[in-house]
Chains A and B, each alone.
Chain A
Amino acid sequence: MKAINRFAIVGIAAVSLLLAACSGAPIKTGEANQYAGATNIDTYRGRNISATASGFQLLLFIPISVNSRHERAWKALLAQAGGDYVTNIKINESWTYGFVGTVYRTTLEATAYPRTGGSSGRSGKTDGAGYYIGGQE
């Protein structure tokens, strides 16, 4: 009986260890610029945008919306950009003690530049990712 209990404990511990490792959804900043895909940017009308997403890690190994927080913050940032050119992306990671776990919070800040159809603003050719190669007009 004791042997069974030991096996059960070892088994539970092994399963816990296997489960208690996870990878979050990544942030791919190249997508934002591909999405913008513009050849003209009005650099005079840049605006600051930011988005935050949180998750809770219960007892250090049970993730509750922790793994998706980067992706959610990124999508919220893109929603604010509304298709504009997004650059100068900064990330701020914070955590707060929650007694039975930890709250993790990701804040993304960036500058969004509107697209222009005319000749004003910065122009140049884009590379594959939408970053601009070329000088100021």
Chain B
Amino acid sequence: MSCIFRKVRPSLVISTLLGCVLLIGGCASGPTMIAPEPPANYERMGPATGAASGSLGILGTAYYFIPMGLNSRVERAYDAAVASVPGATALIDVTLDEYWVWWIIGTNRTVTITGEAIREVK
């Protein structure tokens, strides 16, 4: 068994690892609706704010490819903003802001969504 590993060339191992890293080290959130078309008639319910964070990192520079809640941060921030006003169904006048901070073994990104909460009036 050890003979098999001895025959494997280091360059092949490195290439394979790099390939895995490149496959893993790239990701996207799904399209997140942040300003939907308001209903024909709606009631304004006041200001709403929501924030959500996610990090990318761990260990050293070359290993900064592990997302921790990073890809879903916009969706969670929007949901939190809508939920911050009871009964609200959507937001208008939406502002999206991002703040990041480096914490040595990773970078944390916080998305804040503010807007005016609305509810459809039928």
A: which residues have CB within 8 A of B? 16-17, 20-24, 26-30, 57, 59-61, 63, 66, 70, 87-97, 99-102, 107, 109-111, 124, 129, 131-136
Q: Is the CB of B26 within 8 A of A28?
A: no
Cβ 8 A contact of A90, one of B31, B70, B98: B31
| Closest A-B pairs by Cβ, 10 of them | A97-B25, A94-B28, A20-B102, A61-B102, A30-B93, A89-B35, A26-B97, A90-B31, A21-B101, A96-B26
Cβ 8 A contact of A97, one of B64, B93, B96: B64
**Chain B residues closer than 8 Å to A109, beta-carbon distance:** 31
**Chain B residues closer than 8 Å to A94, beta-carbon distance:** 26-29
Q: Is the CB of B107 within 8 A of A91?
A: no
Q: Is the CB of B27 within 8 A of A95?
A: yes
Cβ 8 A contact of B107, one of A16, A61, A129: A61
A59→B96 CA distance, assembly (Å): 25
B: which residues have CB within 8 A of A? 21-22, 24-38, 40-42, 56-57, 61-62, 64-65, 67, 70-71, 73-74, 92-102, 106-107, 116
**Chain B residues closer than 8 Å to A89, beta-carbon distance:** 33-36, 94
